[in-house]
Structure 1
Amino acid sequence: MDRTVLREDMVDSLQYEAKGFVRSDAVGLAMRTVPRHEFVAETEDAAYADRTLERLGTRVLSPSTAARLLEALAPEPGDSTLVVGVGVGYTAAVVAEIAGQDVVQGVDISRRLVYEARDNLDRAGYGGVLVDRRDGIHGLAEYAPYDRVLVEAAAVEPPRALVDQLADDGRLVMPLGASEQSLVAVDADGEVTDRFGPVAFAPMLVEGEQADTVERNRTVREDREFAQRNTHGRRGWEQDWIDWDSY
């Protein structure tokens, strides 16, 4: 089937009253324009089906989930935007279609995904989007302040650096929570201003937790938790901080 028809059918389905994932003309038009098949290694029919896919150790958001994020973000033409956890680059491309390529940046902690996103964006016609390999919790201060920040990973609270990189009237959208998550919008004061219902995202990774390593070492978070359990479980004579040789 013609790719344009597939995109039209995809967005028509997401705009259907029973779903209502796409509500704005801006998001609808952008999703009708961006060639999603350039971002997933699947058949064209699968690329435009409303389902989650896997690529290089990361989850490729379903079109309906991407639409929820984009509608909550509400980018406008010219909005300086940072996408944290850019993944394969699809949502960054949709934002770029609305805001403009030269004002959109993306970061990801996985080097392989950074290369993948760059290639996908270039092939899809959005090569002007800058994608860099960074620990997303620190953002991309060189291009701040941002009118919009989109975080495609969950955290129990809005990362301070990302909030600090918002413009005064900026808007940060992210999944907030741990086992129970809610999609929220946060203002430049770090306050939740809107909630958009429950979601389920993987937690934001930190340095040492990349999902695409050949053999995953124990992560930073696991090391910290192990040390805490080990400390509480030791007897006094086993504690590292006691210098027994001095007695």
Structure 2
Amino acid sequence: MAAPPESLLRYCPPVLVSRRGDRASPGTPPGASGTQQPQELLNAILPPREWQEAHKLWVQEVSTEPSTRRDVVMLQEQLDRQLQQRQARETGLCPVRRELYTQCFDELIRQTTVSCAERGLLLLRVRDELRLTLSAYQALYESSVAFGVRKALQAEQGKAHLEKRIAELEEEKKELEKQVSEEKAKCEAIERQETERREIEEKKHSEEVTFLKRTNQQLKAQLECIIAAKN
């Protein structure tokens, strides 16, 4: 395991520990005793980091060195430089930006604890509450994203179903239009046949009327001739 990467939190030089039991215990929990040494208190607030290299255990505790105003300015400059070098996003969720700001906050807690233990413990309480709040918001965000993905998948499935239904209705519409065209053609054929039949009937009726009129005139003429002959 390689050495931990550079951090905004100030640490003491690493110490080689041959066995884990050779290192002193980190101390009692924060706030348990007012007689704690600064290093013990810092170890309880900000646990030392340790790693193995070449089968050797290295331990690095948080520095107890007081900080000056220049140290704070340098911390800000280092934060800005790290944000730029690691290409942290300026907006939205960004693990890199969150990690760097967490390191910066831990360093501010360290600086404050060295000068005033009570103020450092209060900042620790604020930090832990912020972490809980961020975790809750992150869980809510992930849940919302998962819900949105599920809804999007359901919408896609519903869209596919609707598209299939639309295709079926379009096919049904074409079939109905075909039936309407066939029925319309039948109606037009029937109308033509009826018109032709009516014309034939009218012509036949007209011929019969003409024949009857001519026959009537002939009979009338014959009757007149008969009457005239008798007179």
Q: Point out the structure with the larger strand share.
A: 1
TM (norm. structure 2) is 0.24
Q: Point out the structure with the larger helix share.
A: 2
